[in-house]
A and B are shown apart, each in its own frame.
Chain A
Amino acid sequence: MDSTPSRQGREVLRHAGRARLSRGFLTLFVAALLVLFLLFVTLPVVSLFLRISPEAFFRSLAEPVVIDALSLSLTTATASTAIVVLLGTPLALVNARHDYPGRALVDTLTDLPIVLPPAVAGIALLMAFGRRGVVGQYLNEFGISIAFTTAAVILAQVFVASPFYIRQARASFEAVDRHYEDAARTLGASPATVALRVTIPLAWGGLVSGAILSFARALGEFGATIMFAGNYQGRTRTMPLAIYTTMQGDMDAAISLAIILVVISFVVIAAVKVITRRNY
């Protein structure tokens, strides 16, 4: 056998060398893009922390506009998440387990708010529940007005945040093996008992992470809220609205609110990661 590389062999080697070189360039290029992108995402967030001293941050936390916004945001987002979970869980369970005419339509409608621009959601809610709205005009006759109240904030949040929970809940229910439900039925469990003692506990991780995502979306809601609920301190001025309002005068307050929202977002991502990791 000839041990010296033939002409063809040398060609192959040279080709391999070139391939290695170009792969090296490619790796470098992808790494550079990655670093650039990470900087683009993290730099603005880090800048928030760099632009305010800890003293100023804690001083702002005592400002009434900050306290009001924080407590209003937490209460409304909690209320809207509770509403979404109460109404969305049965809906998601039914759609995951039963086929009925119009199910695809129901699925599309529940997803709609995800793609709808918040400004559209705001004006749509106003047209429905405003003083002269399709439903609002009748409510008005009973002395009930929703627009520009805290209730409007919650409605706007339910509207934009519900798909985040319902989608996740449906997927989690679908992931539960039907044999568990069948076995429970043969052991004497009614459909309601099966849902409460088998299906929901087995889908629990997904349900909680869906609720957390929905809470986070509600917390960040801006467009629909400002159009449908207005911007009144202590009543409808949630944290995003307060950031928008205070940045025109008190930049420290705006940055402090922003930092709180950043921290909450981090906690949300971490919580979802931890909860969804636990699988049966």
Chain B
Amino acid sequence: MLEFRAVRKLRDFVLDLALSVLPGETLVLIGENGAGKSTVLNLISGILTPDEGEITLGDRVLFSSEERINLHPENRNIGHLFQSYALFPHMTVAENVAFGLRCRKLPEPEIKRAVAEQLETINLSELADVNVGRLSGGQRQRVALARALVLDPDLLLLDEPLAAVDMRSQAAMRRELRERIRKTGIPCIVVTHSLRDAVELGDRLGLMEDGHLVAGGRPEEVLRMRENRFIASFVG
């Protein structure tokens, strides 16, 4: 279970919120651009540091301003997918997936086996030795997800996971993504601008405004709050 409570001063406002996500549960964060959604993900994965607060994942304390604990991102074991996927452009598909395993200094045969297995799961075995620059949006997303999941993360953070996938394949990719998240059984947070993502991926929905969580609950509950301007335009 992820428990997150943090305060961090940003340029336009102070981000101040608490949230928790159960194992196997997916929380979807929605809100205007610049509401602080991606910042929450960065605070959890350790790319940014809260000014104060506490972040725990299972029985591990990732950050605590009181106890002066701040694990480096590389020691948090969190899968973080960036909006652009951030696949390393100087590497092949297989090298991208192997990156984290190499950092963990696993023996080479084991890395080879794990990478082959991941590529098989996402049906990209034949593209193993292709440079990632030649992949489509959907293929990139799959490789980014495989690169994170091959490390057996304790938490999955997805920032606009389908934004770079072309419209036609989005529905299929969304189903596939939901299956993969469900199978891992770990807590997951998805940031999205898409109503379909929110409804189909989320067990729970959180609405963010200026660094605060202003509403939360089951997707259908939150989406019923038409008096909120963002929800009204989000639902359309």
Report how far A190 CA is from B82 CA in the complex, Å.
Answer: 19
Please determine whether A182 and B88 come into contact, CB atoms closer than 8 angstroms: no
Check if B145 is an interface residue, CB within 8 A of chain A.
no
Please determine whether A184 and B99 come into contact, CB atoms closer than 8 angstroms: yes
Query: In the complex, given contacts A187-B74, A189-B100, what are 19 additional A-B residue pairs having Cβ atoms less than 8 angstroms apart?
Result: A179-B84, A179-B86, A180-B89, A182-B42, A182-B73, A182-B86, A183-B82, A185-B47, A185-B72, A186-B46, A186-B74, A186-B80, A187-B151, A188-B75, A188-B77, A188-B100, A202-B89, A202-B90, A204-B90
Please determine whether B88 and A198 come into contact, CB atoms closer than 8 angstroms: yes
B42's closest neighbor in chain A, by CB? A182
Q: Which residues of B contact A188 (CB under 8 A)?
A: 74-75, 77, 100, 103-104, 151
What distance in Å separates the Cβ of B171 from its nearest Cβ neighbour in chain A? 27
Write the B36-76 contact mask toward A (1 if CB under 8 angstroms, else 0).
00000010011100000000000000000000000011111
Report how far A184 CA is from B47 CA in the complex, Å.
Answer: 11
Check if B147 is an interface residue, CB within 8 A of chain A.
yes
Enumerate B79-94 residues with CB–CB distance to A below 8 Å: 79-80, 82, 84, 86, 88-90
Please determine whether A280 and B90 come into contact, CB atoms closer than 8 angstroms: yes
Report how far A222 CA is from B103 CA in the complex, Å.
Answer: 47
Please determine whether A280 and B72 come into contact, CB atoms closer than 8 angstroms: no
Report how far A188 CA is from B105 CA in the complex, Å.
Answer: 10
What distance in Å separates the Cβ of A29 from its nearest Cβ neighbour in chain B? 46
Interface size grouping (class) on chain A? 10 to 19
Q: Which residues of A contact B79 (CB under 8 A)?
A: 186
What distance in Å separates the Cβ of A187 from its nearest Cβ neighbour in chain B? 4
Q: Which residues of B contact A204 (CB under 8 A)?
A: 90
Check if A177 is an interface residue, CB within 8 A of chain B.
yes
B80's closest neighbor in chain A, by CB? A186
Enumerate B104-136 residues with CB–CB distance to A below 8 Å: 104, 133
Check if A201 is an interface residue, CB within 8 A of chain B.
yes
Q: Which residues of B contact A187 (CB under 8 A)?
A: 74, 99-100, 103, 147-148, 151
Point out the residue from B80, B88, B147 that lies within 8 Å of A180, measured CB to CB.
Answer: B88
Check if A193 is an interface residue, CB within 8 A of chain B.
yes
